[in-house]
């Protein structure tokens, strides 16, 4: 049975689009049935609406406490009977109650090689500028499971991308983004196929049955 997927996004939604396309093509045995966004100008909402996918606006400023926000998220996830959560450029931290309810079923993409250039404050072009400022020779993309920290969950997939001498943050981002578009759907497919087992800090990818 196909898994029901919720995608959380804050911006343009290109990774959301990659996941939606992979579902339609059949490479992900699941369906995006909900898109949650926390910025009213997020183009991800328009992508979802064009695909006739329900959307929900949930912003932390709507609530008096983080716990109230997390409760609203959980209520929404239950309403849509969500199996898998995908964070696709989502600029917020999942609260502990959400993480606990979906332990090892939340996946996030980060445009650098964790554990370098990650954590609070490392998002968008800030990540790539930090890579350049440090003088790193490689960067890349990391797909990881989400825990209670910021970019601290077990790593599922990674791929390195070279940093070129004439790169700026925009050109480095443009070279990494297609890798995100390829790896994130692969990771979502692994979760939908129940092929991920977590052993301590390690996310082990299981072989396909049969």
- Residue 110 and residue 157 in contact, taking contact as beta carbons nearer than 8 Å: no
Radius of gyration of the chain (CA): 16
Q: What pLDDT was estimated at residue 209?
A: 79
As to burial, measured by CB atoms within 10 angstroms (0-12 exposed, 13-18 middle, 19+ buried), residue 14 is: middle
- Residue 54 and residue 33 in contact, taking contact as beta carbons nearer than 8 Å: yes
CA-CA distances (angstroms) from residue 190 to 3, 84, 144? 11, 11, 12
Instruction: Calculate the CA 84 to chain-centre distance.
Output: 11
Q: Which two tokens mark 176?
A: 């990494």
Whose tokens are 């064009």? That residue is 50
Q: What pLDDT was estimated at residue 103?
A: 97
What is the spatial order of strands in the sheet that 30-37 belongs to?
55-57, 30-37, 3-9, 84-87, 106-110, 138-145, 155-162, 202-205, 196-199
Q: What pLDDT was estimated at residue 7?
A: 98
CA-CA distances (angstroms) from residue 73 to 43, 58, 67, 203, 208? 20, 7, 10, 26, 32
Q: Residue 13: helix, strand or coil by DSSP?
A: coil
pLDDT one digit per residue (tens) for the chain, 210 residues: 899 999 999 999 999 999 999 999 999 999 999 999 999 999 999 999 999 999 999 999 999 999 999 999 999 999 999 999 999 999 999 999 999 999 999 999 999 999 999 999 898 899 999 999 999 999 999 999 999 999 999 999 999 999 999 999 999 999 999 999 999 999 999 999 999 999 999 999 999 876
Whose tokens are 């450029």? That residue is 89
Q: Which residues pair with 7 in a beta bridge?
A: 35, 86
For the annotated catalytic residues, the residue numbers are 110
């Amino acid at each position: 049975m196909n898994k029901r997927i919720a995608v959380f996004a804050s911006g343009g939604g290109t990774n959301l689009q990659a996941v939606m396309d992979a579902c339609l093509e059949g490479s992900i045995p699941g369906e995006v049935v909900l898109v949650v966004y926390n910025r009213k100008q997020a183009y991800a909402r328009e992508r979802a609406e064009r695909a006739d996918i329900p959307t929900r606006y949930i912003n932390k400023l709507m609530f008096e406490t983080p716990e109230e926000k997390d409760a609203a998220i959980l209520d929404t996830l239950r309403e849509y009977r969500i199996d898998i959560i995908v964070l696709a450029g989502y600029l917020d931290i999942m609260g502990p109650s959400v993480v606990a309810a979906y332990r090892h079923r939340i996946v996030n993409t980060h445009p650098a090689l964790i554990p370098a250039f990650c954590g609070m404050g490392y998002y968008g072009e800030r990540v790539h500028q930090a890579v350049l400022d440090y003088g790193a020779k490689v960067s890349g993309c990391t797909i990881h499971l989400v825990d209670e920290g910021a970019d601290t969950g077990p790593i599922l997939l990674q791929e390195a991308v070279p940093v070129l001498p004439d790169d700026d943050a925009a050109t480095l981002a443009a070279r990494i983004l297609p890798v995100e578009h390829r790896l994130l759907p692969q990771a979502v497919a692994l979760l939908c196929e129940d092929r991920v087992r977590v052993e301590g800090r390690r996310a082990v990818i299981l072989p396909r049955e049969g």
